[in-house]
Amino acid sequence: EKTQVVIIGAGVSGLTLATFLQKSGVACVIVERRNRAYIEMRQRAGVVEARGVHMFERWGLADKLLGGPVAQTIDYRVNGVGRVFEIVGDDRIQGRFCTQQMLVNNLLKELIDGMSGDVRFEVTDVQIKNEEGVQPEVTYRYADSEHVLVCDYIVGCDGDRGVSRASIPEGILTKYSHEFGYAWLAALVEAPVTGHPIMGVSDHGCVAQLPRGPHRSRYYLQCALSDGAQDWPDDRLWNEIRLRLQDETIQNVKVHDKFFVPLRSVVYAPMQYRHLYLAGDAAHLVPPASAKGMNLALFDVDILAQGLLQALQHNDHTALLNYSDTCLPHIWKYQEFAVWMTDMMHDAGDPTQHGTFYQMIARARLDNLFSSPIAAHQHSEYQRGML
């Protein structure tokens, strides 16, 4: 069987890329190991930043895929005392509320139900043939039969633990990584954010509460790397939230899910090898304090979609050859932002991280956002994804 592009993984990057390509008349197939119902249920990010909104507008998809405008404020709290930061910038381009789940569901509808896009769920044993001078192939198993897709390009959108990056021979990619030494417990709860999204630091570790729809929000709590679900029963979770936010009025409500994310930053370079291109978490990871993972994935596939169109429709391979060089400076800029946010949030509250000296330095950094219009402007542009 022949197609132009095979995309491995139907997460946010794979589905967005396929939708852009399909809309532009490029034949593509997604192969995905999970079933559709599983993908429709998966919940993570909450906001498509201003840059991503602008991108979807450019592809004529913003109103079909995205929700309404999002809060342009962040309540930075230190030991319960809040200061509301206002994200400033061009009002015409604003971030939109759109959980990753909502975006993925809207993409599935648009791609499969609206454009008859070809997404093959529940495949196993995906393998990549990516040799010099030979037409690339992706093979997979579905039920008990083996399938071969012959194509022009392969795109790895299969996350950090997928097969795409792993198929690249040793010595080609450089891995740049940083482990922060602690984890975040992420808990989706049945209570909305009632005021502004909260980024809180406290002497007991950092805590954040971010909106996830009209009835839900996600709390993030700094915890030890070695912690597991058994260490965080619901009572402990709520007691810690009250303690870290210094707010005894917070009630225990239903907790829908709880999982642990070790905080790490990773970049693999280059993001391409022969006919294979990596996008999203397959190429880089950022800690969740920055809220950039999904947004960087969207950035990658925008650049890649344009490069693939140039190559396949105009026989111009320049943009595709330059894919890594175009993406990596942007990715590093937001890695820097993610490290700044993560260090600031943890050091500002927790003297066990880097001592009381760094606690005061981190608080001075936070203060800066409220006293310096230049710092506020730069922080806003990072938040909006416009730098």
> Which segment (65-73, 174-182, 247-255, 284-292) binds ligand RFL by CB under 6 A?
284-292
Residue 33 binds ligand RFL (CB under 6 A) = yes
Least separation, in Å, of the C-beta of 282 and ligand RFL? 6
- Does 14 help bind ligand RFL (rule: CB under 6 A)? yes
**Residue 288 backbone class (left: φ over 0; alpha: ψ -120 to 50; beta: rest):** alpha
Name the CA dihedral angle for 135, 140, 146, 147, rounded to a multiple of 10 degrees: -50
Task: Decide if residue 34 touches ligand RFL (CB under 6 A).
Answer: yes
CA–CA separation, 261 and 283 (whole Å): 18
Residue written as token pair 């015409």: 92
Is residue 17 part of the contact set for ligand RFL (CB under 6 A)? no
Using CB under 6 A as the binding rule, whether residue 211 contacts ligand RFL is answered as no
Q: Quick one: which of 163, 201, 221, 276 contacts ligand RFL (CB under 6 A)? A: 163
User: Are the C-beta atoms of residues 207 and 200 closer than 8 Å to each other?
Assistant: yes
State yes or no: residue 223 binds ligand RFL (CB under 6 A): no
Give yes or no for residue 293 binding ligand RFL (CB under 6 A): yes
Residue 248 CB, nearest approach to ligand RFL (Å) = 27
By CB under 6 A, tell whether 162 contacts ligand RFL: yes
Enclosing H/E stretch for 263: strand 255-269
| H-helix segments, the chain | 12-23, 36-41, 50-58, 62-65, 100-108, 234-245, 293-314, 318-321, 323-347, 351-371, 373-384
DSSP state of 261: E
Residue showing tokens 């589905």: 15
Give the bridge partners for 120, in sequence order. Answer: 31
Region 247-276 residues binding ligand RFL, contact defined as CB under 6 A: 261
Q: Is residue 216 involved in binding ligand RFL (CB under 6 A)?
A: no
Q: Which stretch binds ligand RFL (CB under 6 A): 153-161, 191-199, 201-209, 367-375?
A: 153-161
Footprint on this chain of ligand RFL (rule: CB under 6 A) = 8-14, 31-34, 39, 44-46, 100, 126, 157-159, 162-163, 186, 261, 280-282, 288, 291-295, 297
